[in-house]
Amino acid sequence: MNHEQADMILMECEDHMSKTVDVMRKEFASIRTGRANPAILDRITIEYYGAETPLKQVAAVSVPEATQLYIKPFDRSVLKAIEHAIQASDIGINPQNDGVGLRMILPPLTEQRRRDLVKEVEKLGEHAKVGVRNVRRDGNEHIKRLSLPEDDEKGYLQDVQELTDTFVKKIDEEVKDKSEDLLKI
């Protein structure tokens, strides 16, 4: 019975670690590279019928060119609200209102801005590693509470450590890839 519980703990650890990496990937997607990516608008919400609503629920976002985004609201009455929300955000791009939608032209990133974004990526990677290590700690505590024979316990703790190493390596690779992508001109 205890071995089944230990196996379940291992599966839960892997699941939680995987979700931690997925969250980091989503955060990476909202960091702007030299190419237009609709994900940079994911954090923007507008007031729509009295509720804070994500931008992608009230407008279609397209990429007409490599350095442009075009936002066309489903309801024209929210065009101004979307424009103000984008201007108030930390994206740093002023949208151009053409009466039907908003065109956002992404300026080329400066060398300093690229370096700042790489630091932000590294910080997000560190947060993800902390999350993975917290899952490891919790998994180890649960396994120790099962009162398994010493050799079995040691084996399961080793399995949790191997999972942790695998996910930390995955995080390092993703951080490296995103950083290289940001530094490309």
**Residue whose pair of structure tokens reads 């703790």 in the numeric block:** 157
CATH no. for residue 44? 3.30.1360.40
pLDDT at res. 165: 96
Dump the DSSP string for 61-123.
Answer: EEEEETTEEEEEESSGGGHHHHHHHHHHSSS--PPEE-SS-EEEEPPPPPHHHHHHHHHHHHH
- For residues 179 and 120, membership in a common domain is answered with yes
DSSP state of 54: E
Q: Are 164 and 15 in contact (CB under 8 A)?
A: no
Residues in the chain: 185
SS3 category, 149? coil
SS3 category, 152? helix
Phi, psi of 110 (to 5 degrees): -75, 160
Mean pLDDT: which of 19-23, 42-46, 48-52 is highest? Answer: 19-23
- For residues 114 and 177, membership in a common domain is answered with yes
Domain boundary among 58, 87, 105: 105
Q: Is the pLDDT of residue 90 over 80?
A: no
- For residues 115 and 178, membership in a common domain is answered with yes
pTM higher than 0.75:
no
CA pair distance 46, 120, nearest whole angstrom: 25
Give the model's confidence band at 184: pLDDT under 50 very low, under 70 low, under 90 confident, else very high.
confident
Domain boundary among 87, 105, 123: 105
- For residues 139 and 116, membership in a common domain is answered with yes
Structural domain for 56, as ranges? 38-105
CATH no. for residue 133? 1.10.132.20
- For residues 24 and 44, membership in a common domain is answered with no
pLDDT at res. 185: 61
- For residues 125 and 170, membership in a common domain is answered with yes
Domain boundary among 105, 137, 163: 105
pLDDT at res. 38: 85
pLDDT higher for 21 or 112?
A: 21
pLDDT higher for 18 or 48?
A: 18
- For residues 68 and 19, membership in a common domain is answered with no
